[in-house]
């Protein structure tokens, strides 16, 4: 078979159209793809800036951004240039060798955080898995704890692997996946009395608590910001008892909250923290970061085939450098404030439907009244009809997580769109 025939057959099997896009059939998609998502009935095929287009040519203002992932929006020139250059140079070699791009990204992250060491992987769940392993090894080797426990918060979200779904304090994600991983305990978020009581109970006879793992702001749990006094007391408690403080920065890190890291809003530093989502601007990458004192991994303890490859790290470094070059942290603060003021006006306009607005920077939640029959997904669907993409954060909260370079005009467009959506659902 000639090369030309082989290429033609390959394109035919992918259903590539004459303009280079992939032909789409919802029926065939549902027949071939495992049903692990309740998908909205649109197929997105193109993006630019803060907008995306579906396969029928309709434009949407994207306030989902790949669920807080597309830091620079879609087709940002710096990312396009970095992706093009790196794929033409070297995209993967494995961690058997030094990877200069990996070293450069690690150095940037160390220089811009409280961390001393970085391990790269592919996702937030993998980064959190690494944090769990690191905390357990530290407990065994540095503190002599035979059966280490990690405390996490109710309503948290840390991933979908078996260990991270166990760490996730939401039973709905754990259902039918028993037996879950041992070694986890749960407390209410932002409740320091409950946390201190549990630590005292677990460590009453001999130390068992190896780490406390929390989000600076709970994203999937309803866009619930951490309380400053709670986290500062938590830091004191960990220091007093030798417990590691792990912060999951997968959704709130990389500028999302108006500071580079979510924990900066709380005036503390963790011992270990994780990053993913926004770090690659939409290209899969995750990172486990820690201070030198708890960097106890040795060769053979942990690994990732794709983690830290030249392609992902080149893109990650581009995202980091662009955050600085375009002064996006300032934009996040300004546009976040504009968004919250506008959403608060809608709360006042629809008091029987909406309860409050909460969030930091450009991760914000519009909270529904508990007694309303309308759910967050109803508002998301109505907004989609107005050309605006939003995402639920549980049944009672609509989440707004646009690209960090969103403009003032685009924020106003989003506010106009959600106002129209609220008018639709309130009349239904």
Q: For the purposes of burial, counting CB atoms within 10 Å of the CB of 192, is it exposed (0-12), middle (13-18) or buried (19 or more)?
A: middle
DSSP for 245-300, written as a single string: EEEE-TTTTTTTTSSSSGGGGGT---SEEEE-GGGTTTS--EEEEE-GGG----TT
Q: Running DSSP on this structure, what letter comes out for residue 369?
A: P
How many C-alpha atoms does 147 have within 13 Å on its Cβ side?
8
372 contacts 353 by C-beta, under 8 angstroms:
yes
List Cα–Cα distances, 17 to 8, 14, 393, in angstroms. Answer: 12, 9, 36
Dihedral (Cα; 278, 280, 283, 284), 10-degree rounding: -80
Angstrom distance (rounded) from CA 164 to CA 187: 16
**β-pairing, 51-54 with 44-48?**
antiparallel
Which residue is catalytic, options 62, 119, 248, 263? 248
Query: CA triplet 223, 35, 376: central angle to 5 degrees?
Result: 30
Active-site annotation holds for 248? yes
| Cα-based angle 59, 60, 62 (whole degrees, multiple of 5) | 140
Is 219 within 8 Å of 64 (Cβ atoms)? no
Active-site hit among 271, 277, 311, 400: 277
**Annotated catalytic residue: which of 51, 63, 120, 157?**
157
Structural contact between residues 295 and 116, judged by C-beta atoms closer than 8 angstroms = yes
CA–CA distance, 219 with 357 (Å, rounded to integer): 14
User: Strand, coil or helix: what is 77?
Assistant: helix
Known active-site residue 333? no
CA distances in angstroms from 359 to 49, 108, 384, 400, listed in the order given: 23, 27, 22, 9
Q: Which strands make up the sheet holding 391-392, listed edge to edge?
A: 354-360, 363-368, 397-400, 391-392
368's CB contacts (< 8 A; 6+ apart) are 353, 354, 355, 374, 375, 376, 379, 396, 397, 398
CA 417 – CA 382 distance, rounded (Å)? 9
375 is catalytic: no
Active site residues: 157, 248, 277
């Amino acid at each position: 078979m000639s090369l030309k025939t082989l290429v033609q057959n390959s394109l035919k099997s992918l259903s590539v159209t004459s303009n280079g896009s992939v032909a789409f059939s919802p029926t065939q998609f549902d027949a071939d793809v495992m049903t692990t998502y309740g998908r909205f009935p649109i197929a997105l095929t193109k993006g630019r800036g803060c907008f995306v287009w579906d396969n029928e040519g309709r434009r949407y203002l994207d306030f989902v951004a790949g669920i807080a992932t597309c830091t620079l929006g879609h087709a940002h020139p710096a990312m396009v240039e970095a992706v093009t250059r790196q794929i033409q140079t070297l995209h993967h070699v494995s961690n058997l060798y030094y990877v200069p791009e990996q070293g450069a990204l690690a150095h940037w992250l160390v220089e811009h955080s409280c961390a001393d060491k970085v391990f790269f992987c592919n996702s937030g769940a993998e980064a959190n898995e690494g944090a769990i392993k690191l905390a357990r090894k530290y407990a065994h080797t540095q503190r002599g704890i035979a059966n280490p426990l990690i405390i996490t918060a109710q309503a948290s979200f840390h991933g979908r692997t078996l260990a991270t779904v166990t760490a996730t304090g939401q039973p709905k994600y754990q259902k039918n996946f028993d037996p879950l991983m041992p070694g986890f305990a749960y407390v209410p978020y932002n409740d320091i009395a409950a946390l201190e009581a549990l630590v005292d109970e677990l460590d009453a006879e001999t130390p068992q608590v190896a780490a406390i793992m929390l989000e600076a702001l709970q994203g999937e749990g309803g866009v619930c910001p951490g309380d400053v006094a709670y986290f500062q007391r938590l830091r004191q408690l960990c220091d007093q008892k030798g417990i590691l403080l792990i912060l999951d920065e997968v959704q709130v890190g990389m500028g999302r909250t108006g500071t580079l890291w979510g924990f900066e809003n709380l005036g503390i530093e963790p011992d270990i923290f994780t990053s993913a989502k926004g770090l690659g601007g939409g290209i899969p990458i995750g990172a486990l970061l820690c201070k030198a004192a708890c960097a106890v991994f040795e060769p053979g303890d942990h690994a990732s085939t794709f983690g830290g490859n030249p392609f992902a790290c080149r893109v990650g470094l581009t995202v980091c450098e662009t955050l600085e070059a375009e002064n996006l942290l300032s934009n996040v603060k300004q546009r976040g404030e504009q968004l919250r003021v506008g959403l608060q006006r809608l709360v006042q306009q629809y008091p029987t439907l909406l309860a409050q607005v909460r969030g930091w920077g450009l991760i914000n939640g519009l909270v529904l009244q508990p007694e309303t029959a309308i759910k967050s997904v109803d508002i998301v669907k109505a907004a989609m009809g107005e050309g605006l993409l939003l995402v639920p954060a549980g049944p009672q909260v609509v989440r707004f997580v646009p690209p960090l370079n969103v403009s003032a005009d685009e924020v106003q467009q989003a506010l106009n769109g959600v106002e129209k959506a609220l008018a639709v659902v309130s009349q239904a």
